């Protein structure tokens, strides 16, 4: 059976007990939780799971069910756009040959979320005509409800109405990506301008999505590298730094959300002059991780932040 990944993005980043309960629900039916990342400013958490087809399907149903009872969007405040308690649920094939299995699992999850949990499900990525979550999130939950009521949109699964407490589930199939944020020392307008300069949709780097966000006490360029083969992560960081400096702003600390594919570490290390960045097992060496951390503006990059470290053996 195929080993698949899923990286649910949940609309809770402040209550650790709630997040732990949801993570436990993902794991209770066989999926393996590799990482849990909380972000109180975004009020969002990202859980990384792996499992075979049945384990992942069952685990996702258990976790989404737990999230809908524990997260109330009517009480939610945070800078990150969202339309659901279990806001974005991607199924990720770890090899190209596993794409059909990922598509089958995603549709099975969508049917069960609609039938068993009673939530509307919208599709994106490989199963959603190439649409991205931002297509559904624009204008927020109220606007999504209006588009449904006006018959501009209809869920692929579940009822044609939003649950005011739990919202909708955006379910997709996509390739592995990297979620990475960089603090900027400057006003929000500069962060927004830098984001426009680096994201693909406004003429920036291929495979890069970016937003400029205001956090509690700082601003941030929040990026998704949705095609790790199109633009290396260290190049994204270099471009953010250059665009910020061009606007008289400095770049502070980086933040890796979830796990990172080893290839991103290898590329950054080679660019920094490391000739042999992989050890005998094919994982990044200590030296490679150290050079990559500097490239990414991270204090350190532990071995367990690399996806393949969890899949070894």
Look at the alpha carbons of 8, 11, 12, 18 in this order and tell me if their dihedral is positive or negative.
Answer: negative
Q: pTM of the full predicted structure? A: 0.91
Options 3.30.990.10, 3.20.20.70, 3.10.20.30, 3.30.70.360; which CATH number does 4-173 get? Answer: 3.30.990.10
Instruction: List, in sequence order, the alpha helices (H) in the chain.
Output: 16-28, 53-70, 99-112, 133-137, 140-149, 188-198, 233-246, 262-271, 286-295, 307-311
- Buried-state track 202-227, b at ≥16 Cβ within 10 A, e below 16: eebbebbbbbbbebeebbbbbbbbbb
Residue from 76, 252, 251, 74 nearest 165 by CA: 74
80 catalytic residue (yes or no): yes
Q: What are the domain boundaries of the chain?
A: 4-173, 178-311
Are the C-beta atoms of residues 199 and 248 closer than 8 Å to each other?
A: no
Digit-by-digit pLDDT tens for the chain (313 residues) are 789 999 999 999 899 999 999 999 999 988 999 999 998 887 889 999 999 999 999 999 999 999 999 999 988 777 677 899 999 999 999 999 999 999 999 999 999 999 999 999 999 999 999 999 999 999 889 999 999 999 999 999 999 999 889 999 999 999 999 999 999 998 999 999 999 999 999 999 999 999 999 887 789 999 999 999 999 999 999 999 999 999 999 999 999 999 999 999 999 999 999 999 999 999 999 999 999 999 999 999 999 999 999 998 6
CA distance 48 to 31: 10
CATH number of 178-311: 3.30.70.670
Catalytic residue among 37, 42, 80, 107: 80
Neighbours of 23 (CB within 10 A): 22
Fold matches, 4-173 and 178-311 = no
């Amino acid at each position: 059976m195929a080993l698949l990944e899923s990286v649910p993005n949940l609309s809770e980043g402040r209550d650790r007990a709630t997040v732990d309960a949801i993570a436990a629900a993902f794991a209770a039916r066989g999926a393996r939780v590799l990482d849990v990342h909380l972000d109180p400013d975004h009020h969002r958490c990202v859980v990384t799971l792996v499992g075979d087809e049945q384990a992942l399907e069952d685990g996702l149903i258990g976790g989404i069910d737990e999230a809908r009872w524990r997260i109330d969007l009517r009480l939610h405040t945070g800078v990150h756009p969202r339309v659901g308690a279990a806001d974005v649920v991607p199924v990720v094939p770890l090899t190209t040959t596993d794409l059909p299995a990922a598509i089958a699992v995603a549709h099975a999850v969508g049917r069960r979320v609609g039938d068993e949990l009673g939530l509307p499900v919208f599709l994106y990525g490989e199963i959603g005509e190439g649409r991205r979550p931002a297509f559904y999130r624009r204008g927020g939950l109220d606007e999504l409800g209006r588009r449904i009521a006006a018959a501009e949109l209809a869920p692929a699964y579940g009822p044609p109405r939003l649950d005011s407490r739990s919202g909708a589930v955006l379910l997709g199939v996509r390739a592995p990506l990297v979620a990475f944020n960089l603090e900027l020392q400057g006003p929000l307008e500069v962060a927004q301008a830098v984001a426009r300069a680096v994201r693909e949709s406004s003429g920036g780097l291929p495979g890069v999505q970016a937003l400029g966000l205001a956090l509690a006490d700082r601003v941030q360029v929040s990026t998704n590298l949705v095609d790790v083969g199109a633009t290396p992560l260290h190049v994204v960081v270099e471009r953010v730094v250059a665009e910020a400096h061009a606007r008289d702003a400095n770049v502070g600390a980086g933040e890796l959300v979830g796990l990172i594919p080893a290839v991103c570490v290898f590329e950054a290390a080679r660019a920094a002059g490391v000739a042999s960045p992989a050890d005998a097992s094919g994982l990044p060496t200590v030296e490679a991780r150290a050079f990559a951390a500097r490239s990414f503006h991270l204090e350190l990059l532990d071995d367990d932040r690399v996806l393949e470290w969890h899949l070894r053996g």
